[in-house]
Structure 1
Amino acid sequence: MQTLSSTTGTSGFFAELAADLPATDAATMVITHLLPGQMDFLMAVDRVAEVAAVLPKPKSADPLTLEAVAASYHCDVLDRGRFADPVWLTAYIEDRAAGRPLVLADIGGYFAPALAQVCEMFSGRIAGVVEDTENGLRRYLTLGALPCAVYSVARSPLKEPEDRLVGEAIVFSVESLLRRLGEILPGRQACVLGFGKIGAGIAAALHARHVRVIVLDTNPVRQAQAISIGYGWASLPEAMSVSELVISATGSRAIGMEHLALLREGAALAGATSSDDEFDLADLHEPAGGFIRDDLMPGVARYSRAGRSFVLLGNGNAVNFLHTSALGPAIHLIKAEIVAAMARLAADPHAPGLYEVPEAVRARVAAAWVEAFQPPGLQPRDELTAVAKAARR
């Protein structure tokens, strides 16, 4: 088992978390964002299930972090096409963890397409999957009868701080890119597609910057929530025609080639998740699409056709990863819950099905986080610590 050095607060939090979890003979493969300040949880994972491979998300791998992790763990290439091939995926898993109980940590449903066949063909046992995202959860739910246990943390209350901060990080990156183009956000008209947890965070961050915000969601309940808060509403063609900034946060490929003609002249277009999830714009880069590309600066390109143009931010990928999407200590809440879910799968056989981490476990994670990262407040620090310790008992 390997270790990585880190800051005292973060490493102490994960070290204490790991100390409370049983060591097992299981192995794990971890799909993850490799970003500064987010890798200490690998030590805790390695404590409960030996890390057989780390699979960095391609668009969110910080070079220095990748170098540090690769010095301690096998780091392999993550490819959605290959992972959908059960023969290839089984052979890969055999190479890394033959004959062992194996826990799969996922971000985005990479293991979902081939999971049933892999469960049958693998020489060991797929103990289960832990999925981090809403988009990934949807991919597992489309399987119908799950072939193994799947823990989802996508809808956990411990993920809510991350979702809010991701929305803020997306708007920060959008604003940074626009300022480099000589433009500012205040006073502009923006359209946010999708009013899920991240979309709501984006809308709030835009509003805080004095941007007029239209919100569109195909779910009537979410649409009503957005309108009740005070956001504008319009049909999709109307919203896109008047908006100087369009941010897609649906995870369901809401923007296709047919929508580009609806964009206001010179509008900026950005995505909140990977380009595969947000956009269906394959022809944009093909001669058949008829667009001329002009790279304005790294991560920003203008596309022109028939006298009209728009600016694509982040090359269509999650724009916040252009600035490493730093989220601070709040990200460790959901990382710790992921570790707890993996520990449960590694330690105890589960029947196939969908699971969530019990509320009591979430409460202990939250109490440990408060004890490790509490900011100065009205109560004396020792009193806050006593409250957190009591909650963990």
Structure 2
Amino acid sequence: MTGEARIGWAARSMPVLTAIGSGFGDERPFEGLRIAACLHVTAETAVLMGALKAGGAHIALAASNPLSTQDDVAQALEEYGIAVHAKAGVDRATYYRHINQALDIAPDIVLDDGCDLVNTLHTERRDLLDGVRGGCEETTTGIIRLRQMAAEQALSFPVVAVNDTRTKRMFDNRYGTGQSTFDGIMRATNAMLAGRVVVVAGFGYCGRGVAERAKGLGARVLVTEIDPVKALDAMLQGYEVKPMEEAARTGDVFVTVTGNRDVIRREHLEVMKDGAILANAGHFDVEIDVRALEELAVEVHHGVRPNTDEYVLPSGHRLLLLAEGRLVNLTAAEGHPAAVMDMSFSAQALAVAWLVREHERLEPGVYDVPEEIDVEVARLKLAAAGAAIDSLTPVQEDYLHSWRLGS
């Protein structure tokens, strides 16, 4: 399948974003604006780039993860007139060179997935900050970093937290991550999950989705958490809750979904079962301490299966690291289904249009997506699926908005 065909296939499952792009083509809200993006270079992202370009934007795209880059899609985007600075499997230095190349257009708007582009702007390319009207952030890890920047008054422009919409948390984080994570694990290992112990580190929206899919596949699920409320939620949903120190000894498959670093550390690796599978579905390749794993191993067998490396410990136990500790769903599989990204990228496209309209009244900081955008995306998705909902009667409206009416 060519990159163009891959993009076309994705677009068929993205009716909401396609409709938004058609509207942008009529209204041209981004005429003359420059957008620098650091996102996963996939067919679904290509549909978003096409919608923004239809609105008049000049775009430069870098990859937010070199292992998820689809080179044929990058080539197709180049042919469509979008500058792409990305290649599958590049090293760290080249990764940041590509981000800087995307920033060379002196952007008016930035789109980020993990805050690396925004971080580079604020550290190495400060000369460009005055020209940036605002940005959007796609993932939890990036928003954590941005909120810290805002707290320290280091953030120079408004950023919309696209990740924090109700539709994205439900559709993308929960259902998308849950499905695509096990798609990646199964492609990489061909392992059977029924009857095995799956340890899910983190019970946020992504962790809930991973735990639900694991349970549905017949696995026994253990959850590790640092938040007592989330841990209680996991327990009441029927999952065992243990600290990683205990879970490490019993788990067969480990999935990290925290957005933090060193979730699986040396002391955990040392006590794991022979054949334990290690996968990250959070964000950066720091959730599993890969450096500690390399130091512990007496032998390393790369590529025992596609996207699977085997580390032999002094005990003789073999640990299987998937996707080099990077996002397993985007590296060993194709990421979220296009129907999921239709929701996320539709919210992002409408958030960009809102930023362009409202940026002059916004102070630097992190902003939620306006509720009306979230509701509109859900409404359009329901309509595209042929579903309909009820509406309130005038009497119901009065009842909900009056304190004078009794029960």
Secondary structure of the corresponding residue to residue 111 of structure 1: helix
**What's the TM-score, normalizing by structure 1?**
0.83
- Corresponding position: 1:354 with 2:366: yes
Q: What's the CA shift for 1:220?
A: 1.0
C-alpha contact 2:30 2:52 (8 A) present in aligned 1: no
Give runs of aligned pairs for residues 232-311 of structure 1, distance below 5 A.
232-253=240-261, 254-285=263-294, 288-294=295-301, 295-306=303-314, 307-311=316-320
**Which residue identity lines up with residue 150 of structure 1 in the other structure?**
V
**Which residue identity lines up with residue 128 of structure 2 in the other structure?**
F
Secondary structure of the corresponding residue to residue 351 of structure 1: coil
Q: What's the CA shift for 1:362?
A: 2.1
2:376 equivalent in structure 1 = 364
Render the CA deviation track for 1:119-150: whole Å, top value 9, x for unaligned: 85228511112001010001111212221101
2:134 equivalent in structure 1 = 128
Q: 2:189 aligns with which of 178, 196, 199?
A: 178
**Structure 2: how far apart are the matches of 1:299 and 1:270?**
11
2:395 equivalent in structure 1 = none
Q: Which runs of 5+ in 1 are unaligned?
A: 378-383, 388-393
Q: What's the CA shift for 1:328?
A: 3.0
Larger CA deviation: 271-280 vs 224-233? 271-280
Render the CA deviation track for 1:103-122: whole Å, top value 9, x for unaligned: 00000011343444578522
Secondary structure of the corresponding residue to residue 150 of structure 1: strand
1:50 equivalent in structure 2 = 57
Q: What's the CA shift for 1:217?
A: 0.8
1:14 equivalent in structure 2 = 20
Q: What's the CA shift for 1:192?
A: 0.6
Over 3 Å counting, the alpha-carbon distance change for 1:119 and 1:61 in structure 2 is: closer
**Structure 2: how far apart are the matches of 1:64 and 1:58?**
14
1:324 equivalent in structure 2 = 334
2:67 equivalent in structure 1 = 59
Q: What's the CA shift for 1:363?
A: 2.0
Secondary structure of the corresponding residue to residue 177 of structure 2: helix
2:104 equivalent in structure 1 = 95
**Which residue identity lines up with residue 114 of structure 2 in the other structure?**
G
Over 3 Å counting, the alpha-carbon distance change for 1:193 and 1:49 in structure 2 is: farther
Render the CA deviation track for 1:169-222: whole Å, top value 9, x for unaligned: 10232234332xxx4110111111001111110000000011100101111111
- Corresponding position: 1:202 with 2:210: yes
**Which residue identity lines up with residue 177 of structure 1 in the other structure?**
A
Q: What's the CA shift for 1:249?
A: 1.0
Q: 1:107 aligns with which of 103, 107, 113?
A: 113
1:226 equivalent in structure 2 = 234
Over 3 Å counting, the alpha-carbon distance change for 1:17 and 1:284 in structure 2 is: farther
**Structure 1: how far apart are the matches of 2:284 and 2:256?**
10
Q: What's the CA shift for 1:102?
A: 1.0
C-alpha contact 1:34 1:66 (8 A) present in aligned 2: yes
C-alpha contact 1:29 1:104 (8 A) present in aligned 2: yes
C-alpha contact 1:31 1:107 (8 A) present in aligned 2: yes
Matched residues, number: 367
C-alpha contact 2:129 2:156 (8 A) present in aligned 1: no
Q: What's the CA shift for 1:245?
A: 1.1
* Identity percentage of aligned residues: 21
**Structure 2: how far apart are the matches of 1:154 and 1:135?**
10
Larger CA deviation: 200-209 vs 288-297? 288-297
RMSD: 3.0
2:180 equivalent in structure 1 = 169
Larger CA deviation: 341-350 vs 241-250? 341-350
Over 3 Å counting, the alpha-carbon distance change for 1:83 and 1:356 in structure 2 is: farther
Secondary structure of the corresponding residue to residue 96 of structure 1: coil
**Structure 2: how far apart are the matches of 1:247 and 1:120?**
37
**Structure 1: how far apart are the matches of 2:271 and 2:23?**
50
Q: 1:374 aligns with which of 375, 385, 390?
A: 385
1:341 equivalent in structure 2 = 351
**Structure 1: how far apart are the matches of 2:311 and 2:160?**
41
Q: Which runs of 5+ in 2 are unaligned?
A: 392-407
**Which residue identity lines up with residue 45 of structure 1 in the other structure?**
L
**Which residue identity lines up with residue 344 of structure 1 in the other structure?**
W
Render the CA deviation track for 1:308-353: whole Å, top value 9, x for unaligned: 2211122222111212124132311110111111122223323212
Over 3 Å counting, the alpha-carbon distance change for 1:120 and 1:49 in structure 2 is: farther
2:405 equivalent in structure 1 = none
Q: What's the CA shift for 1:50?
A: 1.7
**Which residue identity lines up with residue 312 of structure 1 in the other structure?**
L
Q: 1:74 aligns with which of 61, 80, 83?
A: 83
**Structure 2: how far apart are the matches of 1:123 and 1:148?**
8
